[in-house]
Structure 1
Amino acid sequence: MKRFVSFVALTTLLALLLVACGGQTATPPPAPTEPSAPTTPEDPSGVTGTVTLWHAYGTGSAEEEAVNTLVANARAAYPDATINMLQIPFDQIFNKFQNEVTSGAGPDMFIAPNDSLGDQIRAGLLADLTEYVPMLEAENVSPTAIEGMSLNGQLYAIPESFKAVALYYNTSKVATPPTTTDELLALVRNGNTLVLNQSAYHNFGWMQAFGAELMDADGRCVADTTGGDTWLAFLQELKAEPNVTFSTDGGQADSLFKEGRADMTINGPWALGDYRTALGDDLAVAAMPGSTNPAGPMTGVDGFYVNINSANISGAVALAMFLTSAESMDVYVNQAGHVPARTDIAIESPLVQGFADAAQTGVPRPQVPELSNFWTPFGDAITKVLDGGAAPDASITEACATMNAANNK
């Protein structure tokens, strides 16, 4: 017994010495813990603080009236928040936003099409909103709209609507809209009148109609080898018709159509409210006429972008979610003619449905940097062909070469 006690005492002493010398006794592994719940973004269910919003809707337009109504609704719903709104001309809003954000200022958010989304992301101007994707999905926002406001899998804006140009026509003059370019030519040759904006944007849809593609997967212009000359030749053929007017003044083109001096025009949903006021029940909308392929207008997504400098990102997102709620989208659709980014909004107006149809065959607006060097050379090509009588094949070759040179392709 004494030997056993002595042995225990000895081993105890050795253990104490080992601890004193830095040794450690074995400890059982910690008990497993419950996995933590996944983190979720702050719920932007209520607008708080101060939020400043910029928009570029035309003065007195149906779009401006719609956003005024919706912001008034937001102010009433969140009386403790301060919501400021400022109109910026469309041709200035992107540059002004970039200049102010670069200097550390700017509004909390602005609404615009995704014309410059890629450039703004690459310039580091926009807040990453990817954490809100599950919330958008729960709100029935179209996956296509989410993709249109994303780059490399990251979301940078809250989608509001789709935008693509379509054919407006006056039903008192045109009983059945043309579905092909041949039918369009037949109409103007038989006395109907057409006014077109002389721009690469408004006429882009006919590029796909004739089988042409603008760029390949590497961002190289290939319109010169895929049928772009046929596209320009069609525009030149239209120009030769006495009943067709190409205008470099968008206001003039609008006036000709609204005043009944043109039976048809190509324009976007932003003009719907004004055209409807002018023509009433005589107004109708259809997809652009196709050719060997359906027309493919460049299709963009409008949405609310959040300034990376904003001190109130959650408040800005909350306001964007309010302005794109089902109730708010009813106002945008019925008052301003927007094609909703949400899939749970029933489109009852055949006018709005015409734009929805146009967007179905549209070409998603590329967010690659190479697109920025498309507008000038292709706008110049259209001018040379329509105003200078230049050959379509030589003009498209020159336009692609200029674009590729600018893009180092």
Structure 2
Amino acid sequence: MCNAFFEINLDYIINNLEEIKKEMKNQSIMAIVKGEAYGHGLVEVAKSIENQVDYLGVGLEYEAIKLRNHGIHKPILILSPYFNADKVLDFHITPSIDNMNDLIDLSKKAVERNEVVKFHLKINTGMNRFGLAPEKLDEFIDTYLDLENVSLEGVFSHFAAVYNHAYVDQQLTIFNSCITKLKEKNIDIEFIHMANSKAALEIPKARFNMVRIGNAIYGKIANKKGLNIKTAGRFMGKIIDTRHIKKGEFIGYGIAYKAKKDIRIGIIPIGFYDGFEVGREIKNYSLKDVLMSAFKSLYRYKKPRDLVYVGNIPLKTVGKANMQFLLVDLTDQHEINVDTVVEIMTPSFFVGRDIERKYVKTIDPFLYSETQMIDKEVAISSLDE
């Protein structure tokens, strides 16, 4: 067995989709598989769910091409408005468009090749990253109606802060007004979508006729609405060595940890490079950001999270994590020794690219006991689709 691997249970991903469908019956679903399916494997996940969803969503054009090259036939939307018109046509990919110049260029290329290409219009309702400004929609409509060989299949936007109900309502008002304007021009729209996982589960009015589901597919969502949603990915490693440390000796970088008694530690070859305790940093801090960060740091100092488990037994990490190693306290766990398999509780989105991915349909009974099947919750920041 290798020293570290990311185990992905494809049955859990399918289960999660089925659970989501119970909550929102007759709803078109776009599965978000950008970023290597949030670390779970772009091609492997897409193949396992292709027949369970209506659309696949990727962030960048090369991801869509990769899926096509691996035999995926389901419609694929590039969520960002950056694409090459020839490649979109070559690989039958749906582009997102948020400006008239790109629409005109796409039309010209489609006319040259005597093909019709579908696209989705991205509208900026308040996130201010991508999207057509609402005040330019009239001009966009006039341009679109004069063009040939391009077909508006979908219209979408993106919530900036699902937890902020006032801002959600503001964005919905803008989006709905744009949809109304399109319909008044007798433009048929097959797919209207704005909700990510959190919005889809918590705000029914934001579902329209399609939802974009990412976090929830992989089990990384806090509010599961009573659904049997399971965490699909497990970051696994094994103990490669043990050492005895005497009372009063320091452990690790910065002499940050001092042994209060004689202890036994285990060494696990996983560190920052592999994604352990990797998080996102806010570059432009507000006072609120600073205060929240300080509060979280104080809380975790007083009540640190358990990040390493053997079955349901938590192992306390000692010292600072290294680039490629972390240390755990095994003093009271006499049965845990070299080659014992451990589970690392870290957001799967940040599991290193070099970590081997192992795909399972059922859990290997030789690796895990039944008690290890309990779905442990990890407090992590939600990543929007």
Using the size of structure 2 for normalisation, the TM-score is 0.30
Point out the structure with the larger helix share: 1
Point out the structure with the larger strand share: 2
Using the size of structure 1 for normalisation, the TM-score is 0.28
Task: Give the number of the structure with larger relative contact order, counting CA–CA contacts within 8 Å between residues 6 or more apart.
Answer: 1
